[in-house]
Amino acid sequence: MELHDIYPIEEVVEYSFYFFLLYFILLLLLLYFFVKLYKKIKNRPLSPLEILEKSNHSRAKEMAFKLSYYGKSLLKNVEQEAKFNKLNEKLTPFKYSPDEVLSQTTQEEIKKFLISLRKR
């Protein structure tokens, strides 16, 4: 019996282990850079607008101080400045009084002011 189409044995060079090591090291480097990027994004400081939005709007003293401190840096036009001055006048008496709760209408005014700041 005669066999056709059978070739002689050839030497096969095995680079698969080295490719595996290369891919593994590249994967580790990529993972390292993604973790560093995630930590950088996670630990970034909050902007003044984010601070005002995340603070408790019902606490009068806290909102009075934060709004007077951060509010001026966020103003873009005359309308926002008028709203800011109105809110600042309302909240000024709460700065030096014991911690009180703001009325619901004042809280809604603060939220509307912050929404108007968000729109550009």
In terms of DSSP H, where are the helices of the chain?
Answer: 16-42, 48-54, 60-74, 78-91, 104-118
> 93: helix, coil or strand?
helix
| 120 residues of the chain, pLDDT tens digit each | 676 777 777 777 777 888 889 999 999 999 999 999 999 988 888 888 888 888 888 888 888 899 989 888 888 889 889 989 999 998 888 888 887 888 888 889 989 988 888 875
pLDDT confidence of residue 33: 97
Domain residue ranges of the chain, discontinuous segments joined by +:
13-44, 48-118
pLDDT confidence of residue 38: 94
72 touches 84 (CB < 8 A): yes
98: phi then psi, degrees, rounded to nearest 5:
-60, 160
Distance separating alpha carbons of residues 116 and 73, to the nearest angstrom: 14
